[in-house]
Amino acid sequence: MQLFPCPFCGPRDETEFHYGGDAGNARPDGADVPIERWANYLHMRGNPKGVAREVWVHMNCSEFFVMERDTVTHEVLSSTALDGGHAQ
């Protein structure tokens, strides 16, 4: 069982967390967003092998945060609170 660090609650069991997607995947803004840009935002993913910056939610306290993780070793490199819903 792996422990993930919630920036608010400290180290907690991995089963309390839910993966939320790539960090920095900004929603397109405005009326003239081309279809490809929407598809890119909705579906295309970096999915890196190695260091990844991801949004996670700690379901117990409902806070979203950014976790840097190695997707091969599963080592957690950092865990950062979101500022007003945006990755810092």
Partner 1 sequence: MTTRYSALSLLKEGLAGQTGWKPAWRSPEPKPTYDAIVIGGGGHGLATAYYLAKNHGITRVAVLEKGWIGGGNTGRNTTVVRSNYYYPESVALYGLAHRLYEGLSKDLNYNVMLSQRGMVNLCHSVGEMEIGARTVNAMQINGIDAELFSPEDVRRVAPIYNFSPNARFPVFGGIWQGRAGTARHDAVAWGYARGASRLGVDIIQNCEITDFIIEGGRCRGVRTTRGDIRAERIGMAVAGHSSVLAAKAGFRLPINSYALQACVSEPVKPILDTVVLSPGVGVYVSQSDKGEMVIGGALDRVPSYGQRGNLPTLEGVVAGTLEMFPIFGQLKLMRQWAGIVDVVPDSSPIIGESPLPGLFLNCGWGTGGFKAIPAGGTLLANLLATGRHNDISRPFDLDRFATGRLIDEAAGSGIAH
Query: By rule CB under 8 A, what count of residues binds partner 1?
Result: 26
Taking the least distance from each CB to partner 1, the nearer of 60 and 71 is 71
Q: Which of 1, 10, 83, 85 binds partner 1 (CB under 8 A)?
A: 1
Torsion of CA 62, 64, 70, 71, to 10 degrees: 70
Residue whose C-alpha is closest to residue 19's, from 60, 56, 73: 56
Q: Which residues lie near partner 1 (CB under 8 A)?
A: 1-2, 14-15, 18-19, 35-36, 38-40, 42-50, 52, 54, 71-74
